[in-house]
Structure 1
Amino acid sequence: MTQTETNKQIVTAAYQRIFGDLDITGVDEYMSADFIQHNPTIADGPEGVKALVQMLISQGVPKQKCTFKHVVAEADTVILHSRYEMAGKEWRFIDIYRIANGKLAEHWDAMMQMPDVRSNNNPMF
């Protein structure tokens, strides 16, 4: 298996465990101690992601199977296009992770809630 394929497996396994299974122990297993977060609403480091997962749990977000429409990787970067449910609404996410030493080292994202009224019939996923 190439390093690129290994990186894809690391990211999808981490995402499912942390955000699908809502398993906070996955943060320590998959994230580097100096994890850099580019989402301005989440603190740097593993503790910021743990706080996010705890918030999701407290808001009643269910454990769920994460569905990935696209998983694209080049060198140390993996991009996920995924579907997720929060607060009874469907969301679409684009997450970009940089991998270093087999761990998630850096993260960027963009997210969109499925609108109630659509301007076209094209699927978002």
Structure 2
Amino acid sequence: MSRNPVLFCRTPDSLTLSAHKALYRSTTGSRFATWRRPTARNIRMVNLMRKSLFAASVLLAASTAVFASPVQRDLAAEEANRALVVQFYEQFFNQHQVALAAQVVTDDYKQHNPDVPDGKAPFVDYFTGFFKEHPNSRARIVRSATADDLVYLHVHSTNGANDRGQAVVDIFRVKQGKIVEHWDVIQDVSAETANGNTMF
């Protein structure tokens, strides 16, 4: 003789025994099924299953975030920004055509070099005086790169043929075809090296 199916379930403690049985029968669809009160072991198993399902849902959500499609970069716009900055740099720091080059700099240009004030006018005035004192100043771009609205230049800056110069990383932020912000990191080129490599 076949045995009646048994369902172990946990319902709120406030439910009566009759309510437990009614819930079970509505779940199984059988009015002849045998109902049994859940044991502590069954309750632990149910709780473990719930925790496992919760952990699985968290892992699924995390993996979805990790493997989500990255934001697409506008490489054409980045290349246009790079070309703009390279042309500006050549005119400004090598040809010393300060006023002409500065046409692509906004009036509220933000400067992070502690020796140069904010704004286009102070920027132009500062380097106009600098180039008068250092007419042989040159800045050779070794490499350039872009990331979104930023353009990075790795530069060898010198002041005459006998000057070892400085290694410079210039970072420019471009917005709507104009240079709006600048950062730089400057390091003197050493006469000695512990690794035999140049700084460029």
Bucket of the pairwise TM-score, normalised by the shorter protein: 0.7 to 0.9
Describe the SS at the equivalent of 1:72.
strand
CA distance in 2, matches of 1:86, 1:52: 17
CA distance in 2, matches of 1:92, 1:61: 19
Higher-Rg structure is 2
CA distance in 2, matches of 1:67, 1:52: 20
Q: Tell me what 1:12 maps to.
A: 86
CA drift of 1:118 comes to 2.9
Higher mean alpha-carbon deviation, 46-55 vs 90-99, is at 46-55
Q: Greater relative contact order: 1 or 2 (C-alpha under 8 angstroms, separation 6 or more)?
A: 1
Unaligned runs of 5+ in 1: none
Q: How many residues align?
A: 124
Describe the SS at the equivalent of 1:2.
helix
Structure 1 counterpart of 2:159, from 65, 81, 86:
86
Distance 1:49 1:89, change over 3 A: farther
Partners of 1:27 and 1:49 within 8 A in 2: no
Q: Deviations over 1:43-86 (max 9, x none)?
A: 0011222133223223224154x432221112111111011112
Percent of pairs with identical residues? 23
Q: Tell me what 2:183 maps to.
A: 108
Unaligned runs of 5+ in 2: 1-74
Q: Tell me what 1:30 maps to.
A: 104
Question: Normalising by structure 1, what TM-score?
Answer: 0.87
**Greater helix content:** 2
CA distance in 2, matches of 1:6, 1:37: 22
CA drift of 1:19 comes to 0.9
Q: 1:24-103 alignment to 2 at 5 Å?
A: 24-62=98-136, 64=138, 66-86=139-159, 88-103=163-178
Describe the SS at the equivalent of 2:183.
strand
Question: Normalising by structure 2, what TM-score?
Answer: 0.57
